[in-house]
Structure 1
């Protein structure tokens, strides 16, 4: 009996699977984002410059995170998505704990490489599992719920890391979150299983289609304009998004006079309130509008970037912390709107059997450029501007970087019409 959309809707396990994937994604971003709030004590202890800190936050993680995601996703498509996620969770949690043993730049650089390798196997197979368990008309919403792991995990990482670093030290913060992730591993494997593949009916013994290879999937995507517009549009926004997420705590301490715990509370609340609202709104609105016109899966994120840039500029330029918080809330939400719509659209550019691989190829572009370049670029620009602006250099680095949202909005506008042609149902 072939699995249908209606069967998928009635699956009683899908909410449990989505819940566990969300928990793992929260740990993913706790481990990833904790470095931002610990940047100041790490820099002071290990004597690192903004450029070196930018390499740790961006390139050290993104280099292997982006490239290893592709073969690991292809492996997940052809073997077991849940097993690849399980092993990946154990790996990145262990390397996060090892960051606490670092004695110099290269020690922590290599540990962050390990975190990147581990996390490479987590996200794309998770997207594919959600695609397997949820029907098309609910997929953007389901992916938005999963993407809540970004603001929730980032917020928890910032709050928890700031508290532990202030009360104990930054090394203990790495140990705590790494060990907690390892504890979750057996629980995840117990509750999450791959979706059963369709069976060949007795009266229709036609063989099941073979999963496309990595080369075949890449070839399919390369011929679709929407894939390139979506990928590079997301990458431009991610350069700024990851850059602001990494450097904002340092800006709060340098330009607003915050202590470490104050900065963690400010930024953590911003992520949890603005981020959660933005992620959920993006998925819900996209599923509603996208049912009428597939172009809205790209146009909605583009509008978010266009409106968010001037609001971010107002917050960054503010001299009052309370005013800055209010000014940051709305653009923080707008910056996260893209996740559900774009991730759902990428799922619909290929057949279901190739979803992990397609997601990984999207993430390769998005993260290698966005995560790998954004954090380092803002840090290096801050160093370059220091002779001119002094302690305010990081503020101006962020302001100049807002131009990336304009490029992202343009690319999303172009992606809309292409999606109408490139969309693959179920």
Structure 2
């Protein structure tokens, strides 16, 4: 296969695996109201199941996997972890109680922690600096594809077969993708062992060395704070979307799934693609402009999403969420491309793992749990409307995230220049 064609194929397979890695979370959000009724759970337990119980192990596993990915066979890592999480997702449909479901979700989380670091490292080695904004955006299209497919499929499957069979069926595609990756993708290191530069040959740094190097970079520190706040607020909102429209606006799971597929799936798909195209065409070699652009996007996102939770009509709410989703997801490609350029090539997997370890632990771990606990706390005062007010409270936090991104934009030029002189790649 010619190099250009193989690069496109690699990107397509990694994007599909990325979608599989996120699909179960989307589906679980749609069927969660039925899971909650079936297993007799309160909102705090639901938040723990979707949040800290999942995020803790997802984040922790990213660190050793990243160490392995920075010096081992990344294709093997991706294939094995994809097979494990897909089998565990199918098994979750057989859980008989809350404890069993929580333990299975922990297994899913531990395996899914092995998805992004090795894939991210492969992209950094395969695509040039100019190509990275578009390649990163295409890779991140896996998220909106998971939203689009997940919301549509989960709503329909749940109505037709129930939540248990829905989870069993959702695990199947990942097993096929794991086999496809193992049989058709190639590890670049195996082809260049005898011809790499000394820097490329460098052994993966110790965790302490990586931590000191990365967090000694002021831009990286601000990006880390940005991701923490962004994930905390976004996951607090995202994991309660389906329940919000079912509980507050009276939709059934099928209708909620269909609407959310259009809003979050199609909206995120369009936004991620637009962000990648904008970064590649107008800011390919200007990381500062990429970050400033994302600051503007996040500010606009806050306004539209906050308004969506205030309106009485679910049609207007979906329209506002759609606009906010498009604008908010334009950040995906520029952010990933900036990180790839900012850090040494032999620390790319570790840099992503550290960023998402902290971001997921704080954001995915505490965001849904905090929103659920706040909803329970507001219930004596607001009744069934408590979830609406809980979500509204989290919206302005995205402006705080944007502030950290603005600070990163003020140091990115010097930090990229220093990295280029020390370790080009």
> Corresponding residue for 2:163?
170
C-alpha contact 2:148 2:266 (8 A) present in aligned 1: no
Which aligned pairs between 1:240-251 and structure 2 lie closer than 5 A? 240-251=233-244
2:135 paired with 1:142: yes
C-alpha contact 1:62 1:368 (8 A) present in aligned 2: yes
Which aligned pairs between 1:13-412 and structure 2 lie closer than 5 A? 13-196=6-189, 198=192, 200=194, 208-291=201-284, 293-412=286-405
CA positional deviation for 1:327: 1.3
TM-score (structure 2 length as normaliser): 0.94
CA positional deviation for 1:70: 0.9
Distance in structure 2 (CA, Å) of the matches to 1:385 and 1:206: 55
C-alpha contact 1:152 1:271 (8 A) present in aligned 2: no
Distance in structure 2 (CA, Å) of the matches to 1:245 and 1:106: 23
Distance in structure 1 (CA, Å) of the matches to 2:96 and 2:266: 36
Distance in structure 2 (CA, Å) of the matches to 1:149 and 1:253: 26
After superposition, what is the alpha-carbon deviation per residue over 1:142-168, rounded to whole angstroms, capped at 9, x for unaligned? Answer: 111010111111221222112111111
**3-state SS, counterpart of residue 131 of structure 2:** helix
CA positional deviation for 1:317: 1.0
**Total equivalences in the alignment:** 417
C-alpha contact 2:200 2:346 (8 A) present in aligned 1: no
C-alpha contact 2:133 2:284 (8 A) present in aligned 1: no
CA positional deviation for 1:184: 2.4
CA positional deviation for 1:248: 0.9
CA positional deviation for 1:12: 3.3
CA positional deviation for 1:237: 1.5
C-alpha contact 1:200 1:208 (8 A) present in aligned 2: no
**3-state SS, counterpart of residue 194 of structure 1:** coil
**3-state SS, counterpart of residue 107 of structure 1:** helix
CA positional deviation for 1:223: 0.3
C-alpha contact 1:34 1:158 (8 A) present in aligned 2: yes
Gaps in structure 2 of 5+ consecutive residues: none
Distance in structure 2 (CA, Å) of the matches to 1:352 and 1:247: 37
Distance in structure 1 (CA, Å) of the matches to 2:199 and 2:99: 55
| More divergent stretch after superposition (283-292 vs 361-370) | 283-292
C-alpha contact 1:221 1:349 (8 A) present in aligned 2: no
| More divergent stretch after superposition (273-282 vs 396-405) | 273-282
Task: Describe the shift of the 1:199–1:405 C-alpha distance in structure 2 as closer, same or farther (beyond 3 A).
Answer: same
CA positional deviation for 1:207: 9.7
Task: Describe the shift of the 1:207–1:31 C-alpha distance in structure 2 as closer, same or farther (beyond 3 A).
Answer: closer
After superposition, what is the alpha-carbon deviation per residue over 1:228-261, rounded to whole angstroms, capped at 9, x for unaligned? Answer: 1112112211222222221111111111110110
Task: Describe the shift of the 1:168–1:104 C-alpha distance in structure 2 as closer, same or farther (beyond 3 A).
Answer: same
Distance in structure 2 (CA, Å) of the matches to 1:82 and 1:265: 34
Alignment RMSD: 1.9
C-alpha contact 1:39 1:250 (8 A) present in aligned 2: yes
> Corresponding residue for 1:3?
none
**3-state SS, counterpart of residue 361 of structure 1:** helix
Task: Describe the shift of the 1:262–1:207 C-alpha distance in structure 2 as closer, same or farther (beyond 3 A).
Answer: closer
CA positional deviation for 1:199: 5.1
Distance in structure 1 (CA, Å) of the matches to 2:142 and 2:96: 30
After superposition, what is the alpha-carbon deviation per residue over 1:350-369, rounded to whole angstroms, capped at 9, x for unaligned? Answer: 22122111111111122111
Distance in structure 1 (CA, Å) of the matches to 2:284 and 2:82: 35
> Corresponding residue for 1:6?
none
